[in-house]
Amino acid sequence: MTDETRSTEDRTTPIRVLIAKPGLDGHDRGAKVLARGLRDEGFEVIYTGLRQTPEMIADAAEQEDVDVVGLSILSGAHMTLLPRVVQLCRERGMDDVLIAAGGIIPDADVTKLKEAGIAEVFGPGTSIGQIATYFRDHARRRA
Amino acid sequence: MADLGELLRGAAAGERLALARLLTAIENDAPGLHETLPAIFAAGHQAHVVGITGPPGSGKSTLVDALTDEWRRRGRRVGIVAVDPSSPYTGGAIMGDRIRMMDHAADGDVFMRSMASRGELGGVAAATWMASAALDAAGYDPILIETVGAGQSEIEIARLAETTVVVEVPEMGDEVQAIKAGLLEVADLLVVNKGDRPGADLAARHLRAMLSTAGGRILRKPPPIMLTTATSGKGVAALVDAIDEHRSAARSPLQATARAQNQLRRALADLALRRASHDGDWEDVVQSVAKRDVDPISAAERLLGPEKTG
């Protein structure tokens, strides 16, 4: 066994995160940097690529049974798309899935998004470490 | 977490979240899983399990997407397990196989699950095999298992499948690459993808010439070699035909026996490792081997207990 970093007692399972880009953004550098950063923090990251509808995101979250959905959005359509993702996920019984957002989102909208069920909004300048810590602290615990 | 029997009933009744959570339980080797396994296997409909493997960048995900398109046109419900490697250092993984599959994301008759390999202790081969059983119980057929053909465990995953498709690309190198043992030998069907690239026909010819039967020493006949262009769909319908046709060959007594041996071997190895690594002596024994007080083979015997005789 070449794996020196994990002992056999360490049976905790990695947190599964879906990183998705809803809407018509044309670039996903931020989402990819986050995906790689979270991988290095020990998360299992499922990345779906650009231009996803809320239905596609909810469907992917359901099939992958993720603990966290991270939505990256830069287009300004967050007030339409993000609450819709939350609504679809809850409708499908994903009550305990943490849904967070990042990107260019004005402060004035953050409160409304939180009311709509977005757990946290990460703006520019947030470090990967902060996001990882937040996910670890708030993702559901598995049996 | 809900009761596993309940999740199985939900999955069999078409509840996608129940199936997803059953797959999580399999992945995490959740308590009670092994008691539920017979029920999971019994609930199956004998779906065709197809392994798809090949080097990184050979277009496996795109091909799986194209195959899914074709099977959906033929009215089949497609289940997919895509395995990606976990980092041995952090345990993290990035799984990007869905990027090519998002056209099917909202299709209720396609179910795709990404799985990280989580190192050897987790027994990824066993987990993918159980996952395909769960998809079978939920009524998906065929079930595609997509892996990166980078190492021995991926080859093993392929060997657990009934039909193994190995995907290569025209730029795979000179003909010496084609005569190397390993991945190519486990192929039931060999695909040269990216068939629109220059040299694709030549690569297919090289493979055809090199995959001999070793002068009759290998009993199985050489696999058919097919040319596809997954991005345009060219050759994909013929590949689906070939995979579907292989199903009956894969279920011949000879092949079924060979596969059963592989599956049992794998299950035994996993079971022995699981028992030994949960054994209280594990750390002590590891340390004795590290200090060279004992050799690894005798140490393994110590962990497993004395050999039964007679």
**CA-nearest residue of chain B to A142?**
B1
Residue A98's DSSP bridge partners are: A68
- Hey, of B22, B102, B103, B278, which one would you mutate to test binding to chain A, going by the most A CBs within 10 A of its CB? B102
| A116 interfaces chain B, CB cutoff of 8 Å | no
Nearest-by-Cβ selection for A142 from B1, B111, B112? B1
Phi, psi of A121 (to 5 degrees): -125, 125
pLDDT computed for residue B182 by the predictor: 66
Contact between A3 and B120 using a beta-carbon 8 Å cutoff? yes
**Is residue B154 helix, strand or coil?**
helix
DSSP element (H, E) containing A62: helix A54-64
Running DSSP on this structure, what letter comes out for residue B307?
Answer: P
* 3-class state of residue B94 by DSSP: strand
Residues 6+ apart with CB under 8 A from B290: none
Mutate to test the interface with A, among B3, B24, B81, B152 (most CBs of A within 10 A): B24
Q: Which residue has the tokens 């049992």?
A: B264
* Residue B111 near residue A60, CB atoms below 8 Å: no
Q: Give the pLDDT confidence score for residue B29 in this predicted structure.
A: 85
d(CA B39, CA B15): 17
State the alpha helices, DSSP H only, in B29-123. Answer: 33-42, 60-73
Report d(CA B241, CA B76) in Å as an integer: 13
Provide CB contacts within 8 A for A36, sequence distance 6+.
B94
The predicted model scores a pTM of 0.88
Please report where in the chains the tokens 């019994």 appear, as a residue.
B42
Of B90, B106, B278, the CB nearest to A42: B90
Say what the pLDDT of residue A6 is: 36
Candidates B155, B98, B150, B102; CA nearest to B125 is B155
Tokens 């997919």 map to which residue? B80
Q: Which residues of B touch A (CB under 8 A)?
A: 1, 16-17, 20-21, 23-24, 27-28, 30-31, 86-96, 98-99, 102, 105-106, 111-114, 116, 118-121, 277-278, 282-283
Contact (CB<8Å) A42/B105: no
What does the pLDDT profile of chain B (310 residues) look like in tens digits?
A: 569 999 999 999 999 999 999 999 999 888 899 899 999 999 999 999 999 988 888 889 999 999 999 999 999 999 999 988 888 888 898 898 888 887 888 889 999 999 988 865 545 677 888 999 999 999 999 999 998 766 566 677 767 889 999 888 887 655 555 545 567 777 899 999 998 988 888 888 877 777 765 566 666 678 889 999 999 999 999 999 999 999 999 999 988 898 888 888 888 887 888 788 777 788 889 999 999 999 999 998 888 876 666 5
Read off the pLDDT of residues A13-36 as tens digits, 9 standing for 90 and up.
Answer: 899 999 999 988 878 888 999 999
A14, B80, B120, B158 from B152: Cα distances, Å = 23, 21, 11, 10
What's the rounded Cα separation, in Å, for the pair B179 and B248?
Answer: 28
d(C-alpha B19, C-alpha B10), whole Å: 7
